[in-house]
Amino acid sequence: MTGICADRVVVVTGAGRGLGRAHALAFAAEGAKVVVNDLGAGLDGAGASAGPAADVVAEIRAGGGHAVPHGGDIATPEGAESLIATAVDTYGRLDTLVNNAGFLRDRMLVNLTEDEFDAVIRVHLKGHFLPLRYAAAHWRAEAKAGRPPVARVVNTTSGAGLLGSVGQGNYAAAKAGVVGLTLVAAAELARYGVLVNAIAPAARTRMTERAFAGLAALPEDVSPLVVWLGSAANEGVTGRVLESEGGRLTVMEGWRPGPTADSGRRRTPAAAGTTILSLLARSEEPGPVYGAGAG
């Protein structure tokens, strides 16, 4: 097949539905061989089914593409390692990793249980770290063997991780962690030929349809950016967070030094407060937390 990703081997996690499914189909349409990972869990992370991944694989093959399913839990070392091994054993290589898997257990902080917090952190954040860790080890070995990869990683954060979202303390914390992980990975893996970016997508999926009922953007609207970031055509973009909603693309600009004052000596608490208030008066207001205006 021809296309911007012709003959690239791409792994997409959480690819049985929603954004992941759209990404897998878009990569296949551009010539990639795709490993379709999905545990087949419910919206709250419960249960498992081989059906969603198998359905996407069948759809890709019906269109003349190449794909294999993977039903392992990528938030476990065994599942993540087997995911990367599936790509290498089946197609002889790995070129692109798209970390997308996740689920929601929304609660206001006063009602959020430890188990609900841990479960979301586990899948969204640890579920990014482990596949990335095993993919990075593979690419480092390839580079040291004289086969430098043209490798790409696309992580999935969220506006909730950048601005916060009322009722989603666990999800927002996990998605903020994905940004930090992306920045570190981009810096550490550049020497091996790996570019690492994160997207903050806004699209109507089963995860967003209740919280954002009026959202019209589709998962398929996000996938073109993901495919480009995951292709060899992306020759230098790394360590970036990019937002995609419908036809709108935005470069998200994160924390950087703003107004500063240096007294040259330790302040009293009252002086520290006075200084901070004067600096805040000269600083930009942060963006509003999603849902903060809800009654």
The pLDDT tens digits for 66-102 are: 999 999 999 999 999 999 999 999 999 999 999 999 9
Distance of alpha carbon 82 from alpha carbon 76, whole angstroms: 10
If asked whether residues 127 and 146 sit together in one domain, one would say: yes
Q: Are residues 213 and 266 in the same domain?
A: no
Structural domain count, the chain: 2
- Would residue 2 count as lying in a domain? no
- CATH code where residue 165 lies: 3.40.50.720
pLDDT digits (tens, 9 = 90+) for 43-55: 655 656 778 999 9
Find the mean pLDDT for residues 255-272.
96
Residues 268, 235 share a domain: no
Same domain, 276 and 154: no
Which domain, by its residues, includes 265? 259-283
- Active-site residue numbers? 158, 171, 175
Residues 270 and 216 in one domain: no
pTM of the model: 0.91
**Ordered DSSP codes for 112-126:** --HHHHHHHHIIIII
Do the domain assignments include residue 155? Answer: yes
- Rounded-to-integer distance, Cα 116 and Cα 7, Å: 40
If asked whether residues 91 and 212 sit together in one domain, one would say: yes
Whether residue 87 is contained in a domain is answered as yes
pLDDT at 239 over 70: yes
Please tell me whether residues 277 and 187 are part of one structural domain. no
271 and 177 in one domain? no
Say whether both 169 and 269 belong to one domain. no
Q: What's the pLDDT score for residue 204?
A: 59
Q: Are residues 270 and 189 in the same domain?
A: no
